[in-house]
Amino acid sequence: MFQTHSLDLHEIRSRIASSLDLKDLATCARLSQDWNDSFTPPLYRSVVLSKHGLSMESVERNKHLIQSLRIKSSAYGKRSLTSTRDKVIFSVLTYSTLTTLDLRDNSIGDNGAQVLSEALKTNLTLATLDLEETSIESNGAQALSEALKVNSTLTTLDLRRNSIRDTGAQALSEALKVNSTLTTLDLGRTMIGSAGAKALADALMMNSTLTTLSLGGNSIRSSGTQALSEALRTNSTVTIIGAMF
């Protein structure tokens, strides 16, 4: 005998939703309130905010559904003033379900990094933060390091292609000495030299949770690579990518 399982309409629509692209999901969500209830959650689970996509107002209304959010620079449109952009950044970090925030290629600069830092100090959900090529320099790295000292959820931080230099690397190193959740840190092409590498090496002697540290494309000389090599003798947890030992 075959067992049959009855499905209610909501479950049927939910299964249909799992196979649709964003355009079709949006169309279905507009058909009726019942369809909206079924098709809106998957529509907002992973959101790309851009000039021609969902509006910020729509995102705000459904913020309780969003798990992953990418904000493209075109999303701000005429509202690209720094103050407006910073308000948007701070606002999205209050979303209670957000685990991934992608801001790559947004020129948030050190001011934006400061806004992020303040939000991260109290945020309890974000696990992945992509800040590749966001015009962050040493002061911004310093601000982020203060957040990393107290944040307990972030596991992945991408700072590639930012000019944080040795000063920024030294600040982040201080955070790594006390942070116990970050597992992946990408500092590729961030203008770090040997002084920054030595500071990171000192941090790795104390940190036991970081598993991947990327340093490719930096100008680290032999004294810096030697310090990193010595740190690896003590720290067997981390893998360093891009440093020439």
Give tens-digit pLDDT for 25-45: 555 455 445 444 444 556 678
Interior angle at CA 20, CA 18 and CA 25, nearest 5: 100
* pLDDT (tens digit per residue) in 145-173: 999 999 999 999 999 999 999 999 999 99
pLDDT the model gives residue 37:
47
- Of 60, 59, 16, residue with least CA distance to 39: 16
Contact 193, 223 (CB under 8 A): no
pLDDT the model gives residue 4:
46
Dist. CA 37–CA 62, nearest whole Å: 12
pLDDT the model gives residue 34:
46
pLDDT the model gives residue 35:
45
- For residues 127-157, one letter each, b for 16 or more C-beta atoms within 10 angstroms of the residue's C-beta and e for the rest, the string is ebbbbbbbbbbbbbbbbbbbbbeebeebbbb
Residues in the chain with pLDDT values less than 50: 1-2, 4-6, 28, 31-32, 34-39
pLDDT the model gives residue 54:
72
pLDDT the model gives residue 59:
83
**Helix or strand run (H / E) with residue 142:** helix 138-148
pLDDT the model gives residue 39:
47
